[in-house]
Amino acid sequence: MRFEGTLDIAAPRDRVWSFLTDPKQVTTCAPDVQSLEVTDPHRFKVVVRAGVGPIKGTFTMNVEFTELEEPGHATVVARGQAPGSAVEMRSTMDLAALDGTRTTMKWASDVTVSGMIQQVGARLMQGAADKITQQVFSCIKAKLEAPVTA
């Protein structure tokens, strides 16, 4: 499955880059994160409760930034498993500065699922993915557009 979109953020590109490439910050916007372990600046492990319809599980995801071209491009690969299900995701983001105070993020994710979660069906999976994406991006916008406190 492929997901893609564009997000306008009222924050400078360097601030957006710093937030999105920091596992400790960006995972605060992911729903149902149970734990985070940063292995090194390019790799981390996250445990997240996720599911679609009646199929739910706790996924252990190994995440790696495979491309980092500061401050404009990143590629992230994530692989994870839960009992009876597996997921693999490759995501890219490109940040463009609109001016000194605004950034446009163009993103795309290719997701492959297998096991029990695959049996749910594409339409139900698409709906769940759209809902999670909306939650994550709303959180990212809110955090990045909030006034910077000293």
CATH number (domain holding residue 103): 3.30.530.20
Residue 150 lies in a domain: no
Residue 79 lies in a domain: yes
**pLDDT digits over 71-89, tens only?**
999 999 999 998 888 889 9
Q: What is the pLDDT of residue 133?
A: 87
Residue 114 lies in a domain: yes
Q: Percent of the chain at pLDDT above 90?
A: 65
Which tops the pLDDT comparison, 7 or 132? 7
Instruction: Please state, in angstroms and rounded to a whole number, the distance separating the CA atoms of residues 110 and 92.
Output: 9
Three-state DSSP at 100 gives: coil
Q: What is the pLDDT of residue 104?
A: 97
Domain count, the chain: 1
Residue 97 lies in a domain: yes
Evaluated on CA atoms 139, 145, 149, 150, the torsion sign reads positive
Helix (H) or strand (E) holding 80: strand 73-82
Instruction: Please state, in angstroms and rounded to a whole number, the distance separating the CA atoms of residues 142 and 96.
Output: 19
Domain interval for residue 103: 2-145
**pLDDT digits over 88-122, tens only?**
999 999 999 998 899 999 999 998 888 877 776 66
**pLDDT digits over 6-63, tens only?**
999 999 999 999 999 999 999 999 999 999 999 998 999 999 987 776 777 889 999 9
Cβ proximity of 77 and 64 under 8 Å: yes
Q: What is the pLDDT of residue 117?
A: 73
Q: What is the pLDDT of residue 101?
A: 94
In this prediction, residue 123 has a pLDDT band, given cuts at 50, 70 and 90, of low
Residue 72 lies in a domain: yes
Strand partners, 82: 85
